[in-house]
Amino acid sequence: MGSLVGQFIASFRMPRSVALIGVTVAAAVAILFVILKLTSSESVDVSWLYYVNFFLVYGLQVGPILVYGLFALKPPRSFPPHLPTVRFLCLVPAYNEERVIQNSVGCLVAQDYPKDLYEVYVISDGSEDRTEEIARALGAKVLRTSAQGFGKHRALGFAFERLLTDDEELYVCVFDADNRIEKNYLQEMNNAICAGGYRCLQCFHDVLNGPANWITKSLWVNCVASSRLYNPGRVRSLGTALICGTGWCCQARLLKQYWPLIRTQTEDIELTGHLLLHEGISVPWVSGTRIYDEKPLNLWVAIRQRHRWMTGHMRVAAFLAWPCLREGIRRRDLRLLEMAGYYLLPFVMNLGNVQILLILGLYFGIFTIHGPLAGPSLKWLLNEVTLVYLFGYQVAGFAWETGLWARGAIYSLYAAIFSFFAWTPALVWACFTVFRQDWIFHTPHVTGVDTVEAAVSAPGGWGG
Residue of 164 and 378 predicted with greater confidence: 164
Q: 211 by DSSP, 3-state: which?
A: coil
| Structure confidence at residue 367 (pLDDT) | 85
d(CA 131, CA 135): 6
Cβ(61)–Cβ(393) below 8 Å: no
DSSP code per residue over 130-177: SHHHHHHHHT-EEEE-SSTT--HHHHHHHHHHHH--S-SSEEEEE--T
**How would residue 359 be classed by pLDDT, with cut points 50, 70 and 90?**
confident
pLDDT digits over 379-407, tens only?
A: 788 878 888 998 999 999 999 999 999 99
Residue of 23 and 443 predicted with greater confidence: 443
**How would residue 454 be classed by pLDDT, with cut points 50, 70 and 90?**
very low
Could you tell me what percent of the chain has a pLDDT over 90?
A: 65
Give the helix, strand, coil percentages of the chain, each rounded to 5.
60, 10, 30
pLDDT digits over 68-126, tens only?
A: 999 999 887 889 999 999 999 999 999 999 999 999 999 999 999 999 999 999 999 98
Q: At CA 205, angle to CA 203 and CA 206, rounded to 5?
A: 140
pLDDT digits over 245-256, tens only?
A: 999 999 999 999
Could you tell me what percent of the chain has a pLDDT over 70?
A: 87
- Range with the lowest mean pLDDT among 217-221, 285-289, 297-301, 438-442? 438-442
d(CA 394, CA 224): 8
Q: What is the pTM of this model?
A: 0.89
End-to-end Cα separation, the chain, in angstroms: 15
| Structure confidence at residue 14 (pLDDT) | 57
Class of 1-452 in CATH? alpha beta
Inter-axis angle of helices 345-363 and 424-431, nearest 10: 120
| Structure confidence at residue 460 (pLDDT) | 36
Residue of 399 and 2 predicted with greater confidence: 399
Give the highest mean pLDDT range of 29-33, 139-143, 430-434. 139-143
What residues have CB less than 8 Å from 375, skipping those under 6 apart?
Answer: none
The pLDDT of residue 60 is above 80: yes
| Structure confidence at residue 62 (pLDDT) | 93
Cα-Cα-Cα-Cα dihedral sign, residues 322, 223, 203, 406: negative
Q: At CA 29, angle to CA 28 and CA 31, rounded to 5?
A: 65
| Structure confidence at residue 74 (pLDDT) | 84
| Structure confidence at residue 360 (pLDDT) | 80
- Domain limits of the chain? 1-452
User: Which of 420, 413, 444, 12 lies closest to 218, judged by CA?
Assistant: 413
